[in-house]
Structure 1
Amino acid sequence: MDAVVKRIVREVKRGNQEAFAELVELYKDKVYHIAYRMLGNAHEAQDVSQEAFLRAYTNIHSYDENRKFSTWIFRIATNLAIDRLRKKKPDFHLEDKVGGTENLDYYSQFASEEALPEEQVVKLEMQEWIQQEIMQLPPKYRSAVILKYLEDLSLKEISEILNLPVPTVKTRIHRGREALRKKLGDV
C-alpha cells in the first residue's frame, strides 16, 4: 500500500489532479471519521475533511515521502478539527427545550428511520453517551483517545499526527481514559 501511495503522491507532485482524486478516494472515509469523532457534527466533519484535502493538495510539495501519507493527512485533519473546536461556541444543545413546545427537546426533532430492537437501542444509547462524554474531554485528550481507541492507531502514528513525543501521547491517552472512567462510572 505504501508503495502505491508513494507512486500516487509523485504523480500529484507532477501536477496530475486525477492522481490526487485517487488519494482522496483512499483516505476520505478515515479523514471524515476522525473529524466527525473530534467534532460530533456531520456537516462540520465534512467541512474539515474537505479543508484537509484542500490543504494537502496545496501543500503536497512539502509532504515528506519518507513518512506515511496517512499520518500527514490525519495530522492536517486533526489540527483543523482542534482549531474549529477552539473557535466554536455552542449556541444550543440538543438537550435544550424547543421554545413554544411542551418540554420537547431538539432530539425530538429528528425523524426515526426505522424501529430498532431494544438491544440495538440500548447499544446506540450507550455509544451516544460515550461519544458525548468523549466530546466533553479537553481537545488534547479527546484527539489522543479518538486516534487510539476509535481509529486504532499506534502510539507512533498518533505521535506523528499530533506532533508530540510518544510519552506525551501515552500520558494524554491515560488522562483522557481516566477522565472517561470517572464520568462513565461502573457501566
Structure 2
Amino acid sequence: MDEAELIERSRRGDLGAFNALVVAYQDRVYNLCLRMLGSPQAAEDASQEAFLSAYRNVAQMRGPSVRSWLFRIASNTCIDELRRRRRQPQLSLERPAPGGDSERPLEVADPAAGPEQLALRGELGEALQGELLRLPPDQRLAVVLCDVEGLSYDEIAASMGSSIGTVKSRISRGRARLREALRARPELFGDLVRPTEGSGYAG
C-alpha cells in the first residue's frame, strides 16, 4: 500500500493505515523533536503528543505526502513546549550528561576516518547540537528542517506555516550564527575543513 492510499484510508478512520504512517515517520519526527528540545525524554513526549494531535486531526490531512503536515504538527508541539519552559523554567534531572549516546548529536562521521578524526567529529557533532539549542526557535527549526531533514524550501515553508522568503532568511541567519560560534572553537576541527562564509555548518 503506497503512502497516498495510507493517507486516504487514515482520513476515513482506518487506524491500521494511520499506524503504518506513524511507523514510517516516527524516527524522523522524534529526531526533529530532539534537535529542537535537546532532551531525549522531552523529544519522546513531544513526538507522542504530535502523533496524538495528528490522529485527532487526521481528517485535515491533505496532499500526496504527509511529511510536511506531520513536521508542522511536531514543530508546533516543540514550540509550545519551549514557550512552556520559558514560563516555568525547571532543571531536568533526567537529561543525560553531554556526550551520552542518547543525546544523538548531529552526525558528521566518516567511515574511513581514523580514531583521532572520529573523536574530533564526535566533539564537533556535540558542539553543533549545543549551538543549535542556542538559536532562536524559529531559526533552529528552519536549519534543522533544511540541513538535517533535507526538506526543500517549499516543504519547510509548509511545515513552518511561513513564506519561502521568511524560511530562507531564518536559515541564513541561523547558519551565520552557527558559523560564528564554531569559528570561536577551532580546536574542534583539527585537520577537518573549517567553516567558511559560504557554507552551511562547515566546509
TM range (shorter): 0.7 to 0.9
Distance in 2 (alpha carbons) for counterparts of 1:108 and 1:157: 31
The count of aligned residue pairs is 169
Which residue does the alignment assign to 1:71?
A: 68
Q: Please list, as runs of the form range in 1=range in 2, the aligned pairs for 1:74-89 lying within 5 A after superposition.
A: 74-88=71-85, 89=89
Q: Output the amino acid matched with 1:170.
A: K
Q: Sort the Cα spacing of 1:117 and 1:70 in 2 relative to 1 into closer, same or farther, 3 A.
A: same
Question: How far has the Cα of 1:15 moved from its partner?
Answer: 2.1
- Residue 125 (structure 1) aligned to one of 114, 123, 126: 123
Q: Assess, with a 3 A threshold, how the Cα gap between structure 1 residues 45 and 157 changes in structure 2: closer, same or farther.
A: same
Normalising to structure 1: TM-score of the pair? 0.82
Q: Which residue of structure 2 aligns with residue 45 of structure 1?
A: 43
Look up the SS of the partner of 2:2 in the other structure. Answer: helix
Whichever of the two has the greater Rg, that structure is 1
Partner of 1:100: none
Query: How do 1:1-187 and structure 2 match up within 5 A?
Result: 4-64=2-62, 66=63, 68-88=65-85, 89-91=89-91, 107=97, 117-185=115-183, 187=194
Task: Report the Cα offset of residue 40 of structure 1.
Answer: 1.1
Deviation of 1:124 after TM superposition, in Å, equals 1.0
Shift of 1:11: 1.4
In 1, Cα distance between the equivalents of 2:118 and 2:93? 24
Structure 2 residue runs of 5 or longer lacking an equivalent are: 102-113, 187-193, 195-203
Q: TM-score, normalised by structure 2?
A: 0.76
For 1:35, what is the secondary structure of its paired residue? helix
Q: Percent of pairs identical after alignment?
A: 38
More helix by share: 1
For residues 129-165 of structure 1, the C-alpha deviation after alignment (integer angstroms, 9 at most, x for no partner) is 1110111000011000111111111111100000100
